Structure 1
Amino acid sequence: MILQAFYAMLADRRVIWALFFINIIGTIYGYVWYGWQLKATPPQFLPFVPDSPTASLFFVFVLLSFLWRKHRPYLEALAMVTLFKYGIWAVVMNILMLLVNGNLPWQGYMLIVSHFAMAVEGMLYAPFYRFKMKHLLVAAVWTLHNDIIDYVFMQFPRYEDLYMYIREIGYFTFWLSIFSLFTAYVLAIRSSRPKLEL
């Protein structure tokens, strides 16, 4: 009963509109945060550098589709995987910054909270998604290709104080991608729960 009420709340258009605007604001802030790095990025790498704002942008389009009572399976798969991956990634990187430096500016704590919320919101809507294995495979190609761009062509998000750990971060990121894809598979494809309507 409680779970039904919770999912009814998630399907409420007022909640979807609220998340839509929150994610638009977060997306804009994210692209501004990456602004200085984007200026120095070769054009062919530009789509793969601003990871978190691109993830939330995918979700913005998913929410917009929900408001139209439509499904965009490729966007749903991309949103779920990347929201979870980059939400968790940013939380871990900011905690690592705290451990390395002994302190973290207030923006770091804000990024921990906001990115954890990203990871959670992507999973909460799993019962509403309609993507299948072929859609998830496209998300896998995008996500793993992004890791190659980041850690082979060295276009990863700049946390200068963590550069000494870049190999370990690259290794962690690869396995986080795999775990994110597996999570999406379990929650949105493999789950025996019936799909919910908007």
Structure 2
Amino acid sequence: MQQLFFQCWHILTNKAFLILLLIINIAGTIYGYYWYGYQLASTEPIFYIFVPDSPTASLFFCLAIIGWLLGKNFKLMEVLALITLIKYGIWAVVMNLLTLAETGSIGPAGWMLVFSHFMMAVQAMLYLPKYRFQFWHIAVAAIWTLHNDVIDYVFGQMPYYRVIDQFANQIGYFTFWLSIVCIIIAYFTYKRGNYLHEL
């Protein structure tokens, strides 16, 4: 089992694989910003940065990968990527499944979103051993994440899901606790990293 882990880790950290992963995430980021174009067109400029949640999460991961390729750790980007990839990956899966429950169908595009966002969360978890962020990075990322929730659910900037808009309050509550769970994951990743460095 340990040998299998090291073989998988060797593949995940191989330069060619990281470049491929970077290309995939760049493409996903660009498509994500394009997908939010309709909502951004009716958004006040002051909220622009907070609206496209998923593509911004994948952008953070792109920057983290670039750091790894350069032999560096862009620590703030790593923790922002970890928290937001898991958060918005799971969030989008749940929202699409809720839409499915309400309408009976989400079509090929909906299932594509389910798969792609699920993989966002998976890739964030796969690279847990590679993150090197410190506690203050977590604090900054936590402020960003929770502030984004306030913008979405207090100022009404959550992504458009017209079918489930009626559940906005419940979705906001779910999203807040999802943010907390993701921040806790980042904290335990930091603690585990410190423990391993002390061995």
The TM-score range, normalised by the shorter chain, is over 0.9
Q: Deviations over 1:59-118 (max 9, x none)?
A: 011111111111111110101000000000000000000000011111000000000000
How many residues are aligned here? 194
State the partner residue of 1:127.
Answer: 129
Task: After TM superposition, list the pairs within 5 Å mapping 1:1-198 onto structure 2.
Answer: 1-186=3-188, 188-191=189-192, 194=196
AA at the equivalent of 1:139 = A
Structure 2 SS opposite 1:156: coil
Mapped to 2, the partners of 1:180 and 1:37 lie a distance apart of 26
Show structure 1 runs of 5+ residues with no match.
none
Scaled by the length of structure 2, what TM-score is found?
0.95
**Conserved 8 A contact 1:20-1:63:** yes
Show structure 2 runs of 5+ residues with no match.
none
Mapped to 2, the partners of 1:107 and 1:181 lie a distance apart of 30
Structure 1 SS opposite 2:94: helix
Structure 2 SS opposite 1:130: coil
Give how far 1:25 is off. Answer: 0.5
Mapped to 1, the partners of 2:155 and 2:127 lie a distance apart of 34
AA at the equivalent of 1:52 = S
Mapped to 1, the partners of 2:114 and 2:196 lie a distance apart of 32
Please tell me the root mean square deviation across aligned C-alpha atoms, in Å.
1.1
Q: Deviations over 1:105-141 (max 9, x none)?
A: 1100000000000001011111011101110010000
AA at the equivalent of 1:141 = I
**Conserved 8 A contact 1:62-1:75:** yes
Q: Deviations over 1:166-192 (max 9, x none)?
A: 000000000000001111222x21226
AA at the equivalent of 2:191 = R
**Conserved 8 A contact 1:127-1:194:** no
Q: Relative contact order, CA 8 A, sep 6+: which one is greater?
A: 1
AA at the equivalent of 1:115 = H
Q: Deviations over 1:17-72 (max 9, x none)?
A: 01000000100110011001001111111100000000000001111111111111
Structure 1 stretches of 4+ with a deviation exceeding 6 A read none
